[in-house]
C-alpha cells in the first residue's frame, strides 16, 4: 500500500511539473471572462427589453417556443425539445420562480452545462492522453518498467493520479467560474430554488416528481454527474494512451471521438442504436435539468450503465495490454 502511495505521489508530481494543470488554469482564465462578457451583454439586452421584469421575459420565451411549434418547417425532434421546454418554463412561471436569477451561481451552472460535452473532456484529455504515451515517446517507460514494481501497480497509480486530477479540474473550473462571474453578477444565489425531477416522456413532461432544491445543491449534483462523465472520458483516454504510441495521436483520436459524439447527439434521433455509444451519453446533467435526451428512451440509469460498461471495458483493455505488451523502440 505504501508502495502504491509512493507511486501515486511520484505520478502526481510528474504531471504537476509538466505544467499541464497550469495550462488548463490559464485556458480557463482566458475563456471564462469571454463568456462572462457575452452573458453580460445578453443580460443588458434583456434588461432593456423587459425592464427587469423576469415574468414577462419568461412568458416571451414561452410564446416564442409555442409559435415555433406551429411551424411545419421545424423537424419533429426539435418540436419535442421545445414542447418539453415550454412545459418546464410554464412550471416555473406557475410557481412564480425565476429560473434565471442573474448571479454567479446561475452563470456557473449554465457554463458547466455547456462545457460537459466538449470543454471538460478537452481539459481532462490534456492530462489523460499524455499519461502513458509520453513515457513511451520520451523513452522513460523503460526506466519505469525495469523497476521492481509490478506493471499493474504502475498503471493503477497512473489511474489514481488521473482521478485526482479530473476532480481537481472540475472543482477548479467551477471555482474560477464562480469567482470571475461574481465580479459582474454578484456572489449570491446559492439558496435560489431550482426545480428538478422533470420526466420527459416523448412530448409530455411528467411533473409528478418535480421538487425544488437550492441552486447550491443543484450545482453539487451537477458537478457530481459531470465528474462521472469526465472520469469515463479520462479512462477511455488512458486506454488510448496505452494503445497508441504518440501523445498527439492519442489526443486527436479521443477528441475526434468526443466531437463525433456531440454531432451524433444532435442528429442521431433516427439512428437509435447510437445511444449505446459512450460519447452520446456524456451530457448527464441534462437529466437533472429535465431536457429531453438526444435519443428517445435514454434515462439517467441507462446513460450511467452505458458509460460504466465502456469505462470498465476500457480499464480491462488498458490493464491487459499494459501488463503484457512488449516495449520495443
Partner 1 sequence: MKSSIWLWRVLGLTTLACLIALAVGFGWALKDTWFPEDGLAIPETEDGAAATGGAWADKPELFVASLGDSLTYGVGDPTGRGYVKRVTDRLGDVLNKPVTLVNNLAVNGAQMKHLIEKFNETGFKYAIAKADLILFTIGGNDLFQLAQDGGSIIEGGDLSPELLKDRLPEVTPRLEQVFAKLRELNAGARIVYVGLYNPFYDLAEMRSGSGIVAEWNAKAYELAQADGNATVVPTYDLFETNVTKYLSQDHFHPNAEGYDRIAERIMQALN
222 binds partner 1 (CB under 8 A): yes
Q: Pick from 4, 156, 221, 243 the residue near partner 1 by CB under 8 A.
A: 221
User: Is the C-alpha dihedral spanning 169, 160, 125, 221 positive or negative?
Assistant: negative
Give yes or no for residue 100 binding partner 1 (CB under 8 A). Answer: no
Residue 292: DSSP 8-state: P
Site membership for partner 1, residue 212 (CB under 8 A):
yes
Crossing angle of helices 20-50 and 54-69, in 10° steps, is 90
When asked if residue 111 is in the footprint of partner 1 (CB under 8 A), the reply is no
CA distance linking residue 80 with residue 295, whole number of Å: 11
Based on the shown chain and the rule CB under 8 A, indicate whether residue 322 belongs to the binding site for partner 1. Answer: no
Instruction: Give the one residue of 85, 97, 118, 243 binding partner 1; rule: CB under 8 A.
Output: 97
| Residue 205: all three cell numbers together | 413532461
Applying CB under 8 A, does 297 fall inside the site for partner 1?
A: no
With contacts defined by CB under 8 A, name the span among 129-137, 234-242, 256-264, 296-304 that binds partner 1. Answer: 296-304
If binding is defined by CB under 8 A, does position 201 make contact with partner 1? no
Determine, following the binding rule CB under 8 A, whether residue 60 of this chain makes contact with partner 1.
yes
One residue of 19, 41, 55, 245 binding partner 1 per CB under 8 A: 55
Q: How far apart are CA 219 and CA 222, in angstroms?
A: 5
* Contact call for residue 76 and partner 1 (CB under 8 A): no
Whole-number Å distance between alpha carbons of 88 and 197: 11
Confirm or reject binding of residue 216 to partner 1 (CB under 8 A). Answer: no
Q: What share of the chain is helix, strand, coil (3-state, %, to 5)?
A: 75, 5, 20
Q: 85: buried, middle or exposed (CB in 10 Å: 19+, 13-18, 0-12)?
A: middle
Closest separation in Å from C-beta 259 to partner 1: 25
The residue written with cell numbers 480491462 in the block is 316
- Quote the CA–CA distance of 269 and 265 in Å, as a whole number: 7
Interacting residues toward partner 1 by CB under 8 A: 8-9, 12-13, 16, 51, 53, 55-56, 58-60, 62-63, 66-67, 70, 90, 93-97, 163-165, 167-168, 170-171, 193, 196-197, 209, 211-214, 217, 220-225, 227-228, 287-288, 300-301, 304
Amino acid at each position: 500500500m505504501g508502495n502504491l502511495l509512493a507511486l501515486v505521489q511520484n505520478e502526481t508530481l510528474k504531471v504537476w511539473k509538466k505544467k499541464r494543470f497550469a495550462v488548463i488554469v490559464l485556458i480557463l482564465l482566458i475563456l471564462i471572462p469571454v463568456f462572462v462578457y457575452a452573458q453580460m451583454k445578453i443580460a443588458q439586452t434583456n434588461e432593456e427589453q423587459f425592464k427587469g421584469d423576469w415574468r414577462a421575459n419568461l412568458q416571451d420565451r414561452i410564446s416564442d417556443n409555442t409559435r415555433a411549434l406551429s411551424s411545419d418547417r421545424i423537424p419533429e425532434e426539435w418540436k419535442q425539445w421545445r414542447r418539453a421546454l415550454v412545459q418546464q418554463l410554464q412550471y416555473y412561471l406557475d410557481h412564480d420562480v425565476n429560473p434565471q436569477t442573474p448571479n454567479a451561481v446561475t452563470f456557473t451552472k449554465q457554463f458547466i452545462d455547456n462545457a460537459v460535452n466538449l470543454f471538460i473532456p478537452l481539459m481532462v484529455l490534456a492530462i489523460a492522453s499524455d499519461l502513458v504515451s509520453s513515457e513511451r515517446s520520451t523513452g522513460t517507460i523503460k526506466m519505469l518498467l525495469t523497476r521492481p514494481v509490478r506493471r499493474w501497480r504502475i498503471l493503477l497509480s497512473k489511474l489514481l493520479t488521473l482521478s485526482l486530477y479530473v476532480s481537481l479540474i472540475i472543482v477548479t473550473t467551477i471555482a474560477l467560474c464562480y469567482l470571475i462571474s461574481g465580479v459582474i453578477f454578484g456572489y449570491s444565489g446559492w439558496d435560489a430554488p431550482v426545480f428538478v425531477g422533470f420526466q420527459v416522456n416523448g412530448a409530455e413532461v411528467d411533473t409528478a416528481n418535480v421538487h425544488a432544491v437550492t441552486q447550491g445543491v443543484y450545482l453539487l449534483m451537477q458537478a457530481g454527474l459531470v465528474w462521472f462523465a469526465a472520469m469515463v472520458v479520462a479512462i477511455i483516454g488512458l486506454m488510448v494512451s496505452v494503445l497508441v504510441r504518440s501523445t498527439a495521436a492519442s489526443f486527436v483520436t479521443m477528441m475526434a471521438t468526443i466531437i463525433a459524439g456531440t454531432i451524433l447527439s444532435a442528429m442521431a434521433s433516427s439512428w437509435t442504436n447510437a445511444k449505446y455509444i459512450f460519447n452520446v451519453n456524456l451530457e448527464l446533467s441534462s437529466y437533472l435539468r429535465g431536457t429531453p435526451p438526444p435519443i428517445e428512451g435514454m434515462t439517467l440509469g441507462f446513460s450511467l450503465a452505458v458509460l460504466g460498461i465502456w469505462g470498465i471495458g476500457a480499464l480491462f483493455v488498458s490493464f491487459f495490454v499494459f501488463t503484457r505488451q512488449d516495449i520495443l523502440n
